[in-house]
Chains A and B, each alone.
Chain A
């Protein structure tokens, strides 16, 4: 998972193994072949280091490059793309870049929020959250037509950000007890998940399935959420 190099001080990532926001940074760094030191953080008992490096939000992930910290995963991803220019995450064309940023924001600010509501509610409220998530995902479904990945033939920003949908939403559907993203309604998204799952960088950087599901099950029990 974490790679060591002679310059292990140069790039450090404060993260958490089960967090989609932390994992997406690892994907970007791995995609670009950037060696980094990973520092697993206990988010229930935040370290002085974390509080010092991200005093505003006190959250992971935090990337530290040459001693300077950067927080907020979308900001970090753009920084990585601006700094290491090989294997670009964002397209060259300005209007395509704008679209990628648009979808990334939609995923984080709306799809993620709706999906969390599905996990945290029951009954009618949950049904509404499922419908909201599906309506939003339909936009992504249409985006994928004729493409292997959101980024075209290779992984891009939106793929990296949308791993949240593939490996944190779809992966946990059995635990949630509701097929939020049924294959009949979302064939393109499911095809994309297959493409993702066959990609070496993704395979290397996502949490191992069994441990991940166990972790989520334990969290749901703790929060008194009924797991299927």
Chain B
């Protein structure tokens, strides 16, 4: 591999892979995408991420980088010329707040979202839905604080770390909304997030790689089969 060659091991449906792809697109970095086959793990993946054996893995100049948020930060730090947009905010406090909410989204928000898909019975589902509602409301408030009147969490006119962390979930969120018959983002409950979601999905670094909802929904049915009645 050439010294500056970039490869990304991933899959079209993965939120976490999407984060890495958005970051690469933002910085106009060309890369080779290595699509993993559903149900099996390639030799390269196992060799590059022996600890977790999970994607995404970014391989740059032969060195693997694992964990989606860590990859996004790596991309920001390794390609940091002034002509490229900055992914993390520049002020240390704003950086800290972005990291805080990005961790919240993975550790709390997504966990409750996923429990809607794995819920057994209507009662469990209702509890999970209420929890997602509550946590989404927190993110609506976080958006107002972080965006400082700008269109994105990044507090600037372009998408950044926290936009990527949350926005990468929008496809799956839509799938869950359809499955649960319940909207989490709408103009009344979450006016700011609703507007932000539209702008995020239409961003040139995002639009070409956002998976089609019907394709994603079909994949979700494979991953989370409904229990037999």
Interface residues of chain A, those whose CB is within 8 Å of chain B, are 56, 65, 68, 70-72, 74-76, 78-79, 82-83, 94-95, 97-98, 101-102, 105-106, 139
Interface string of B86-109 (1 = CB under 8 A from A): 000000110111011001100000
Q: Tell me if B73 counts as interface (CB < 8 A to partner A).
A: yes
Instruction: Let me know if B67 and A78 touch, CB within 8 A.
Output: no
Instruction: Let me know if B63 and A95 touch, CB within 8 A.
Output: yes
Closest Cβ of chain A: how far from B164's Cβ, in Å?
A: 16
The 3 closest A-B pairs by CB, nearest first: A82-B92, A94-B77, A79-B96
Instruction: Let me know if A101 and B70 touch, CB within 8 A.
Output: yes
Q: Write out the residue numbers on chain B whose beta carbons fall within 8 Å of the beta carbon of A97.
A: 73-74, 77
Closest Cβ of chain A: how far from B56's Cβ, in Å?
A: 13
In-complex Cβ contact of B100 among A71, A95, A98, A101 (8 A): A71
In-complex Cβ contact of B67 among A71, A75, A105 (8 A): A105
In-complex Cβ contact of B73 among A70, A71, A98, A139 (8 A): A98
Q: Write out the residue numbers on chain B whose beta carbons fall within 8 Å of the beta carbon of A94.
A: 74, 77-78
Residue pairs across A and B with Cβ atoms less than 8 A apart, 21 shown, are A65-B93, A68-B93, A71-B100, A72-B100, A78-B96, A78-B99, A79-B95, A82-B92, A82-B95, A82-B96, A83-B92, A95-B65, A95-B78, A97-B73, A97-B74, A98-B70, A98-B73, A101-B70, A102-B66, A105-B70, A139-B51
Given contacts A98-B71, A101-B73, A139-B51, contact A76 B96 (CB under 8 A): yes
A65 to B65, CA, bound (A): 32
A37 to B70, CA, bound (A): 31
A222 to B3, CA, bound (A): 57
Residue of B nearest to A90 (CB): B77
Closest Cβ of chain B: how far from A107's Cβ, in Å?
A: 12
Instruction: Let me know if B100 and A70 touch, CB within 8 A.
Output: yes
8 A Cβ contacts from B67-82 to A: 67, 70-71, 73-74, 77-78
Given contacts A56-B104, A95-B78, A101-B67, contact A106 B51 (CB under 8 A): yes
8 A Cβ contacts from B97-154 to A: 97, 99-100, 103-104, 138
A82 to B73, CA, bound (A): 14
Q: Write out the residue numbers on chain A whose beta carbons fall within 8 Å of the beta carbon of B103.
A: 72, 74-75
Given contacts A71-B100, A94-B77, contact A102 B67 (CB under 8 A): yes
A106 to B65, CA, bound (A): 14
